[in-house]
Amino acid sequence: MPDRQIQLLMIVTGLLISIHAGCSGIGTSRWASDDPVYAEKYNDPYQGGDGKKVARMLKQSVDARHVKDRSGYYLGGAYAEDSAVGADIGMFLYQGSAVETRTSLKAIAGAGTGEVMAGLEPGIRIQTPSRLAPFVGAGTFIGGSWPGDDRRDDGFDNDFDGVVDDYDESNAQSLVTIFPEIGAHFWLNSNTRLTTSAQYHFSSEGRDDDFVFVGFSVAYLNPIFDPEADPETTD
């Protein structure tokens, strides 16, 4: 990975860790208590001596297992060498509390072949079920440039269908990449998550068109129905 991108990733990760350190101070161990799943675990008064109390405070200050089997959506941006950029909007689903699957609609410009491309990016991430959650992941981008410029009179069979300069020829391109990924999530509160990651995209166009995306995203966890919060369902 180029030095500049490593630096950027370290800065963003450092920022997340400092925010985490700042938020984990005295009085913030109930950081997600507005979430009904988290609250059910931790809303009882502290029991036992000081040792037990501190142990539970520490545990609940990092616990993010309330995300188990829940879904949400995210908005993200990415940066690569030579001013290449990307943007995506997607949905995620936790399979349990440590495995996250996701799919986004993604647009990229300047990366790989240099064309503006749009497509789908499904991925999977394995992470710690904690407020600050490092992860490793993998994914694929499947997309293309469309509609492209007119190529009906260049004397070349651009779409390789055996007919030169037929009616629908353009310079539209497809692009498929697969990528490993490392990164970290940080939950600002019970339902808002910041993420930074680095993805190494292996391009279908060859190794010269591989690229590294350093990305940042903000995600929102969908609320769940809480019977205790609805007065009509409580006695």
Catalog residues that contact Ca ion under the rule CB under 5 A: 151, 154, 156-159, 161, 163, 165-166, 169
CA 44 from chain centre, in angstroms, equals: 33
- List b or e across 18-40, with b for residues whose CB sees 16 or more CB atoms inside 10 angstroms: eebeebbeeeebebbbebbbbbe
- Contact between 122 and 137 (Cβ < 8 Å): no
- Which residue lies nearer to Ca ion by CB, 69 or 154? 154
Question: In whole angstroms, how close is the CB of 149 to Ca ion at the nearest point?
Answer: 11
Question: In whole angstroms, how close is the CB of 184 to Ca ion at the nearest point?
Answer: 47
Question: Comparing C-alpha atoms, which of 226, 195, 235 is closest to residue 13?
Answer: 195
- Which residue lies nearer to Ca ion by CB, 59 or 152? 152
Phi, psi of 49 (to 5 degrees): -80, -175
Secondary structure E strands in the chain: 71-80, 84-95, 99-109, 116-127, 132-144, 174-187, 192-203, 211-221
CA distance 115 to 223: 38
List Cβ neighbours of 133 (8 Å cut-off, separation of 6 or more): 64, 127, 184, 185, 186, 187
Question: In whole angstroms, how close is the CB of 145 to Ca ion at the nearest point?
Answer: 16
The CA dihedral of 131, 135, 220, 141, to the nearest 10 degrees, is 170
- Which residue lies nearer to Ca ion by CB, 46 or 156? 156
- Which residue lies nearer to Ca ion by CB, 13 or 158? 158
- Which residue lies nearer to Ca ion by CB, 60 or 158? 158
- Which residue lies nearer to Ca ion by CB, 22 or 162? 162
Question: In whole angstroms, how close is the CB of 151 to Ca ion at the nearest point?
Answer: 4
Question: In whole angstroms, how close is the CB of 82 to Ca ion at the nearest point?
Answer: 29
Question: In whole angstroms, how close is the CB of 152 to Ca ion at the nearest point?
Answer: 6
**Alpha-helix residue ranges (DSSP H) falling in 133-187:** none
